[in-house]
Structure 1
Amino acid sequence: MEVEDVIETTIGRSGRYQLWIFFLISIGRFPTEYQLTNVVFILPNPEYVCKDEGANNASNFCPCNNPEYDTSNVMNSVSSEWDLICDKRHLASLGQSMLQIGILAGSIFYGHISDRYGRKIACLLALTAEVFFVAISAAVTEFWMFAVCRFFIGVAVGGTMLCCYIIVIELFGKSFRPYLPGLIEMSYIISYLSLPLIAYFLRDWKHLQLVTSLPWVFVLLYYYLIPESPRWLITMGRKKEAIELLTFIAKKNNMPIEDIEATVVRGYMAALHEERKEHASYLDLFKTPKIRRYTLIIAFIWLCCAHTFFGINQYIGRLQGNIYVNVALSATSLIPGIVLVVLASLYLKRKTSVITSFSVAAISLLLFIVIPRSLETVTRVLAIIGMIGAYTSFVQIYLYSSEIFPTVIRNSAMGFASVFARFGGFIAPFVVNIGVEWVSILIFSVLAMCAASLCIFLPETKETVLLNTIEQTENKNELDHRENTENSKAPNTN
């Protein structure tokens, strides 16, 4: 009996207790989700009239020492408060990218904390730090202070995105896993939908930061509410704690508890003690051939994915029309994306669905280049389709990556991949601001197609059991290869 079967057998695939924990984590993630989508409101490309002598009240004139900003959409933003225009425009891109740099650091830091010290402590630390640093950012008086806060916000975002996802994936059973990518993204969609409404009534970036952080101080109580991942406890050899936790969850889910200890021991504890002697580390991602290959491919795919997604996300804010309406439409368009992700997880192979999503993003962006900007509705539709493609590929690559890597290095592997994703997100604002729109869009499109092509070299993981050790992963791949070879030769022997 394999690990995922043991957990699903003992506590159920999606019992009442798992759903309760999922609800708590989803609610706690809202400050993180807001920070991922608020860039168009706190760091916009502001419109202004230059009041300098000799500028003749020209719009967006450079250089300009006395700009009068258009406040019809945003009353006060980071860009307008510190005059991030003309020769300071690169500071606005830096402010956007500091979040990605922070997420990069957070992915490494929290990936290690989660694999070494547990999923629970990593999740709680990330959720709490997010609330704290977002609130602090609203009180700063200098741009460099904001940039530093933006970095630490990103560190917490990286931890939240990574660790909350993993603890949910490991708590539910295998047969419920296809539904999780869509359900996990509900907090992102709800925050994305509510953000333009909140921003519309506040119109000040400081107020927006406070309202989207301080109300979530209740995450401190999660220390008493969120359990450790039973899968992580088992993998660490903490047999007694794992059995106690599984028994507790089984009771909450009205599942039988008589055979839990015997089931756990019979399933994998003996083999695990033989195979696992030390804590895994990032170095383990490169020690064996299959894991090393998967690590490098997944890392570059995440880079392309994040670069395309965050690049398109910033273009949404630049489309003609009301910024609040455009963001609301963009958020609404992602709802069918969630449905498509769930359907793809249920009925399509992982590689097929991920490749399709990347291809949709790439093709829609190529069409975006050739369509005249006078066709406002068409360009908006193409941008939204590209957004859906990039978004669904991002959602699916999380699930795909978590299924490829074993428990002992799952968080480390995804943390390493997330580092490359942050690099992709970091350079996205600079690509957007190249100045030649078709060049920027072409770069996003080409990288999306590269990601689709690289997926071909990854294994299929649909309906597979989550493995625990590197040895199991390597041996399973060898066995699959032998089985495929034998099956391909079978017709010739008949």
Structure 2
Amino acid sequence: MTSDDPLETVIGRFGKYQAWILLLLTMGRLPSDFQLVNVVFVVPSVQYVCMDEGTQNLTNHCPCDNPMYDTSAIVNSVPTTWNLICNKKHLASLAQSSLQVGILFGSILYGYISDRYGRRIAILLALMSQIFFVGTSAIVPQLWMFIVCRLLIGASVGGTLICCYVMLVELSGKSFRPYLTGLNEIAYTLSYILLPLIAYFVRDWRYLQLSISMPWLFVLFYYNFIPESPRWLITKGKKDQAIEVLTYIAKKNNRPTNNIKHIVEKELLHNNSDQQNNGSYLDLFKTPKMRVYTLINALIWLCCSHTFFGINQYIGRLDGNIYLNVFLSAIGFVPALFLVVALSLYVSRKMSMVVTFVGTGLVLLVFIFIPSDMKYATLGFAIVGQIIMYIAFILIYLYTSEVFPTVLRNSAMGFASMFARIGGFIAPFVVNLDSEWGSILVFSAVSLLGGALCLPLRETKDTVLLNTIEETEHYKKKKTQSQ
């Protein structure tokens, strides 16, 4: 199964048209990616002086009915708006974690929509809904309304993260997939760098939410620019539409179009012989290899998300300027994009994932023994751990998109992402443990577990994307016969 990709011969591995789609999706994704990192500014840990009678102006004293919050960094946040301190502190964690719950359901919903009704409609729906719900969250008067908005924002985030990535993978040739690992993450890295700069000047959480959503209303016009995935059209037997899309892309990339009809018909014949053009979440568990890939990938995503978002929120609690700390951690992601491309090009997928998971776990173990008064060393190790886990996160996106067939690719990533959200949901509660070393130890152990889970997986580097479950189940047999 390492032969030439027929669709790559038609539209090229990554031409001008694919670059245009990458630009559109990168810009359109920014509101979603802002939501993944803005928790440190919207729902931060707050400091206050209790002004109740008899408390003698104690700091962070509980119970406290009349707190005076420290507004030197953040003027207004969700905890200060609704006094989420003392016996309401758990509601702050819930407000943080509700986004992850929303992403969980969104990953499932949009994964189903994408595999059933098309990549294009799922992407457009996710991009448009993110603008609406982020904007709405900025004006709600009640905490429960904000939490509901966070859930709905999370659903759209889940859709954009998975569906945009799969679209880029399916529009590209196998030889270009390693570069997509870095290119796809430009949106997240850009949002991470821009957010502390925006938040520095917009220190009220309501105005911050509006600032990172309303300017993106231009995604309403994406309907005329985003195509349907030709690979998805072929798996659904939509011959004429597949030919039309491939011809359009080939012309944009200045490639010949005379053999497109023949290639599409050949692919349709091959897919119809397998009789598996419609996939569902149940198909992830119907066959032996699919069950193994599904369950192991899901647990790996859980470990990765739990550790990554845990470190992300922990950095926001470190001593020093919160805006500078977040900005420095974001800048560290820039070289990570180049490193992950190099790993994808020259190192096996499995080895790369094992090394990054284990590396993060070891860095966090060292972190435990750093004296608390060594602020710069503490920040440095936290950022290094986050960067390595970020690389691992990118790699599992690539691996999951490669190991599952086209008919189930979005569903598989949606299911795995669901487990990632479970890990992300738990992370704030671990961060909020009374024991700092205990929190770090948990994140380290989970990261090491993720590395161990990668060991039984098969290698996918330099392989053509499989289309059907049958091809996936017989992958080794076909490879052996071709040798």
State the alpha-carbon separation in 2 of the partners of residues 276 and 308 from structure 1: 40
Aligned to 2:405: 406
Q: Check 1:191–1:4 CA distance in 2 against 1; reply closer, same or farther (3 A cut).
A: farther
Query: Where does structure 1 differ by over 4 angstroms across 4 or more consecutive aligned residues?
Result: 1-4
Aligned to 2:460: 461
How far is the alpha carbon of 1:210 from its aligned partner?
0.3
AA at the equivalent of 1:84: L
Secondary structure at the counterpart of residue 76 of structure 2: coil
AA at the equivalent of 2:289: K
How far is the alpha carbon of 1:478 from its aligned partner?
3.5
AA at the equivalent of 2:293: Y
Superposed counterparts of 1:27-176, under 5 Å? 27-176=27-176
CA contact (8 A) 1:337 1:388 kept: yes
Q: Which blocks of at least 5 consecutive residues in structure 1 are unaligned?
A: 488-494
Deviations 1:306-338 (A, max 9, x none): 000000000100111000000000101111111
AA at the equivalent of 2:223: Y
How far is the alpha carbon of 1:479 from its aligned partner?
4.0
Secondary structure at the counterpart of residue 49 of structure 1: strand
Aligned to 1:449: 448
Identity in percent: 59
Does residue 431 (structure 1) correspond to residue 430 (structure 2)? The answer is: yes
State the alpha-carbon separation in 2 of the partners of residues 448 and 292 from structure 1: 23
Does residue 211 (structure 1) correspond to residue 214 (structure 2)? The answer is: no
Superposed counterparts of 1:354-365, under 5 Å? 354-365=353-364
CA contact (8 A) 1:4 1:173 kept: no
How far is the alpha carbon of 1:4 from its aligned partner?
6.8
Does residue 189 (structure 1) correspond to residue 189 (structure 2)? The answer is: yes
CA contact (8 A) 1:357 1:390 kept: yes
State the alpha-carbon separation in 1 of the partners of residues 3 and 425 from structure 2: 38
State the alpha-carbon separation in 2 of the partners of residues 347 and 329 from structure 1: 28
CA contact (8 A) 1:3 1:467 kept: no
AA at the equivalent of 1:219: V
Aligned to 2:268: 269
Deviations 1:413-434 (A, max 9, x none): 1100011000000000111112
Aligned to 2:319: 320
State the alpha-carbon separation in 2 of the partners of residues 403 and 249 from structure 1: 23
Aligned to 1:9: 9
CA contact (8 A) 1:360 1:385 kept: no
**Which deviates the most, 217-226 or 3-12?**
3-12
Does residue 235 (structure 1) correspond to residue 235 (structure 2)? The answer is: yes
How far is the alpha carbon of 1:264 from its aligned partner?
2.2
CA contact (8 A) 1:3 1:466 kept: no
Q: Check 1:347–1:2 CA distance in 2 against 1; reply closer, same or farther (3 A cut).
A: closer
Aligned to 2:416: 417
AA at the equivalent of 1:423: I
TM-score (ref. length: structure 1): 0.96
State the alpha-carbon separation in 2 of the partners of residues 271 and 3 from structure 1: 15
State the alpha-carbon separation in 2 of the partners of residues 60 and 4 from structure 1: 64
TM-score (ref. length: structure 2): 0.98
How far is the alpha carbon of 1:269 from its aligned partner?
1.6
AA at the equivalent of 1:103: I
Q: Which blocks of at least 5 consecutive residues in structure 2 are unaligned?
A: none
Deviations 1:78-109 (A, max 9, x none): 01000011111100000011000000000010
How far is the alpha carbon of 1:477 from its aligned partner?
2.8
How far is the alpha carbon of 1:483 from its aligned partner?
7.1
CA contact (8 A) 2:31 2:131 kept: yes
State the alpha-carbon separation in 2 of the partners of residues 389 and 18 from structure 1: 28
Count of matched residue pairs: 483
AA at the equivalent of 1:175: S
Does residue 396 (structure 1) correspond to residue 374 (structure 2)? The answer is: no
Secondary structure at the counterpart of residue 49 of structure 2: strand
Aligned to 1:490: none
AA at the equivalent of 2:319: Q
How far is the alpha carbon of 1:377 from its aligned partner?
1.3
AA at the equivalent of 1:251: K
CA contact (8 A) 2:277 2:407 kept: no
What is the RMSD of the two structures over their aligned residues, measured on CA atoms? Answer: 1.4
CA contact (8 A) 2:10 2:250 kept: yes
Q: Check 1:109–1:64 CA distance in 2 against 1; reply closer, same or farther (3 A cut).
A: same
**Which deviates the most, 339-348 or 3-12?**
3-12
CA contact (8 A) 2:50 2:64 kept: yes
